[in-house]
C-alpha cells in the first residue's frame, strides 16, 4: 500500500483562498482531482489524503465531497475553529459520521502571533480534537512553531500530531540548527509524527537532487523511526520546484537503503495507521 499523505486541491469558484494568490501565477487557478489522478496512478500510489488550505468549513465540505467521488482519495484533513472550542466540538461531532474526515489542521504560520497555538483557547480546542480521537497536522515554519510541539504534547498528551514538511529544514543553506535540535526534542514524544513532504521546495528551486534531501530524511528516521514517518507529495505546491514524479522518485531514492519494513512504513503504512485509512 502506497499512500500520499499530503496533497491539496483548490476550487476558487467555491472557496476564497487567501493563498495561493497572484504572486504565484502557476498555482493561482483551480487545481482539481482530475489533474492529479494520472500522476498518482503513474507513481503507483494507492491512496491520498487531502489537506486543508483555508480556514473554512466550506473548504472542508468541498474536500469531503471530492473524496467521496474518487476511490483513490482515502481521507481529508479538514478545519475546525480551535480557538472556539465549543463550536469546534459541535463541528467535530457533525463530521464524525463522515468516513473521510481523518483529522484537522490550522494554518498557524499565517497567524500574526507565533504563539497562537499555545493560547489557552487553542489548547482547549486541541483537547476536544483529541477527545474525538482525531490527529492534528502542525504547520511548523518558524523555529518558534517547532518549539511549541513539545508543549502541546505535554498539555494534550492524548493528542496525536504530525509535523508537516519536516518543519522545513534549511536544505537550501545546507544548514542544520536550530532545526535539528528542535526536531529531536519533538521526536521524544511518542504521539508526535512527521511528514517527509515539501522538502523539494525547501531546496534550491533552480536545481536539486535527492542527495540534497537525504541527510535530512536520514536524520528524521534516526529521531522518529520509520513507524512515525510518512511520505507526502505536497502537490501542487511541489510543482514550484519540480513535479509529482520527481518528488516521488526522490523519496524512493532517499529510502532505498532502508530495510524493507522501514520503506513500507514510510511509503504508506505509517500514514494508513496514523489517519486510520
Number of domains in the chain: 1
Query: CA angle at residue 30 from 22 to 249, to 5 degrees?
Result: 95
For 224-227, the CB contacts below 8 A with 24+ separation are 224/187, 224/192, 224/193, 224/194, 226/258, 226/261, 226/262, 226/263, 226/265, 226/266, 226/270, 227/265, 227/269, 227/270
- How confident is the model over 23-35, as pLDDT tens digits? 999 999 999 999 9
Closest residue by Cα to residue 72 from 101, 48, 102:
48
pTM given for the model = 0.96
Domain with 35 in it: 3-274
d(CA 80, CA 89): 8
d(CA 268, CA 262): 10
Q: Indicate which CATH number applies to the domain containing 39.
A: 3.20.20.140
pLDDT of residue 142: 86
Terminal-to-terminal C-alpha distance of the chain? 11
Grid coordinates standing for 102?
481523518
Residues of the chain with pLDDT under 50: none
- How confident is the model over 135-169, as pLDDT tens digits? 999 999 889 999 999 999 999 999 999 999 999 99
Amino acid at each position: 500500500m502506497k499512500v500520499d499523505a499530503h496533497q491539496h486541491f483548490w476550487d476558487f469558484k467555491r472557496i476564497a483562498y487567501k493563498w495561493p494568490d497572484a504572486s504565484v501565477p502557476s498555482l493561482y487557478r483551480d487545481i482539481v482531482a482530475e489533474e492529479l489522478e494520472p500522476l498518482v496512478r503513474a507513481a503507483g500510489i494507492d491512496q491520498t489524503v487531502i489537506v486543508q488550505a483555508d480556514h473554512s468549513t466550506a473548504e472542508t465540505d468541498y474536500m469531503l465531497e471530492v473524496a467521496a467521488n474518487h476511490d483513490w482519495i482515502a481521507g481529508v484533513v479538514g478545519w475546525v475553529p480551535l480557538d472556539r472550542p465549543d463550536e469546534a466540538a459541535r463541528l467535530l461531532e457533525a463530521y464524525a459520521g463522515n468516513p473521510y474526515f481523518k483529522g484537522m489542521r490550522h494554518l498557524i504560520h499565517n497567524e500574526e502571533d507565533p504563539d497562537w497555538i499555545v493560547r489557552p483557547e487553542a489548547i482547549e480546542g486541541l483537547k476536544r480534537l483529541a477527545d474525538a480521537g482525531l490527529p492534528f497536522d502542525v504547520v511548523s515554519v518558524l523555529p518558534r512553531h517547532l518549539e511549541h510541539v513539545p508543549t502541546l504534547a505535554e498539555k494534550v498528551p492524548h493528542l496525536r500530531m504530525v509535523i508537516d514538511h519536516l518543519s522545513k529544514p534549511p536544505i537550501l543553506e545546507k544548514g542544520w540548527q536550530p532545526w535539528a535540535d528542535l526536531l529531536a526534542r519533538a521526536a521524544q514524544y511518542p504521539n508526535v509524527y512527521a511528514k517527509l513532504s515539501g522538502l523539494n521546495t525547501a531546496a534550491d528551486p533552480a536545481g536539486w537532487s535527492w542527495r540534497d534531501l537525504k541527510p535530512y530524511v536520514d536524520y528524521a528516521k534516526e529521531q522518529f523511526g520509520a513507524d512515525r514517518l510518512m511520505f507526502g507529495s505536497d502537490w501542487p505546491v511541489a510543482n514550484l520546484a519540480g513535479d509529482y514524479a520527481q518528488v516521488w522518485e526522490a523519496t524512493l531514492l532517499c529510502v532505498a537503503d532502508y530495510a524493507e519494513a522501514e520503506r513500507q512504513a514510510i511509503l504508506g503504512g505509517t500514514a494508513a495507521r496514523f489517519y486510520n485509512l
